[in-house]
């Protein structure tokens, strides 16, 4: 299980490749926190949505996201150039926001699934929002392996 808070300076975000799914380019992001790593697939439109939230709520410069291109966006050279630019973008915003790590960025990078603090924060939010209905529906709750590890390590 990862811990970004303890490994902020030993964190790397890369986009080593792009997969084609029909006519859609999927950027495969590799997140490494300390010795733990995982992959996260995202389309360019996901980056646009994230950037809109980060620029309006967290002071990220509006012009650092690589621009959208309508014509020629399936060209392999363009896709490779965009892949590199998106990698620089992610590295920059993670560095800029590493002390605050906004929830939108943590969700985009799947920190809520692999990082102890974000996983427990997500679990607490789930119980806060849905706790009453969970108690009414069932007398038991099944934790995932990661949730149990996070609780035990806390």
Task: Break the chain into its structural domains and give their ranges.
Answer: 8-109, 117-153
Please state, rounded to an integer, the average pLDDT across all residues of the chain.
91
Predicted pLDDT at 50: 97
CA 107 to each of CA 18, 65, 75, 90, 111: distance values in angstroms, whole numbers, following the listed order: 20, 18, 30, 13, 6
Q: 42 near 26, Cβ under 8 Å? A: yes
pLDDT in tens, 106-121: 999 999 999 998 889 9
Q: Report, at the CATH architecture level, how domain 8-109 is classified.
A: 2-Layer Sandwich (3.30)
Q: What is the pLDDT of residue 72?
A: 66
Lateral strand order in the sheet of 11-21 = 11-21, 24-33, 36-42
Residue 47: what pLDDT?
97
Q: 105 exposed, middle or buried (CB, 10 Å; 0-12, 13-18, 19+)?
A: buried
């Amino acid at each position: 299980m990862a811990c970004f808070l303890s490994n902020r300076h030993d964190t790397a975000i890369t986009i080593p490749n792009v997969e084609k799914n029909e006519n859609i380019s999927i950027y495969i992001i590799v997140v490494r926190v300390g010795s733990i790593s995982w992959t996260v697939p995202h389309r360019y439109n996901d980056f646009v949505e994230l950037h809109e939230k980060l620029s309006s709520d967290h002071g990220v410069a509006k012009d650092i996201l690589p621009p959208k291109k309508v014509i020629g966006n399936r060209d392999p050279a363009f896709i490779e150039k965009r892949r590199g630019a998106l990698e620089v973008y992610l590295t920059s915003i993670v560095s800029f926001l590493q002390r605050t790590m906004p929830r939108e960025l943590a969700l985009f990078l799947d920190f809520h699934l692999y990082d102890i603090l974000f996983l427990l924060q997500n679990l607490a939010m789930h119980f806060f929002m849905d706790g009453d209905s969970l108690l009414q529906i069932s007398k038991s709750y099944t934790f995932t392996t990661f949730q149990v590890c996070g609780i035990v390590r806390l």
